[in-house]
Amino acid sequence: MLERHLAVNLFGTYNVTQAFLPLLTRSQGAIVNNLSMNALAPLPLIPAYSISKAAAFNLTQSLRALLATRGVRVHAVLTGPVDTDMTRGLDIPKAAPESVARAIFDGVEQGQEEIFPDAMSQSLAQSWRSGPAKALESQYAALLQTDAVG
């Protein structure tokens, strides 16, 4: 089960990015990886999914730093529960797919690195953006700029 989730969510994302990278670089385009709040903290009921989303988030953060000098923007979409086939049968509040899609487009347009497109994920947005993990990501990314200059 873990191998299947990693094949889709990590290696699939990586392979598609690599395939389109020349075009993304030429067009100064954007990568938008649809992740999940499970990338930030695992839901023990679905560990393989959570692990694969965490790995894909780390890939997204790495690509953001590595591709910045090429003019390619990289966005991570960190959704809470959305009313899709995956959450059918779960008796929890869910966001409408249309509102999530709208919020993703808005987040890309606004240049948000992490996009929190629904009410549940938005409740974490500010603490994520001002938290130690985001600060460390920025410090690590700065190492690339220092290395490129020196």
**Residue where the block lists tokens 């991570």:** 76
Q: Enumerate the active-site residues.
A: 49
Sheet holding 114-115, edge to edge: 30-34, 73-77, 114-115
Left, alpha or beta for 71 (phi > 0: left; psi -120 to 50: alpha)?
left
The Cα 116–Cα 112 span in angstroms is 9
Pick from 130, 34, 123: which is nearest to 74 by CA?
34
d(CA 64, CA 74): 5
| Kind plus residue range of the DSSP H or E element containing 73 | strand 73-77
C-alpha to C-alpha distance for 113 and 49, rounded to whole angstroms:
22
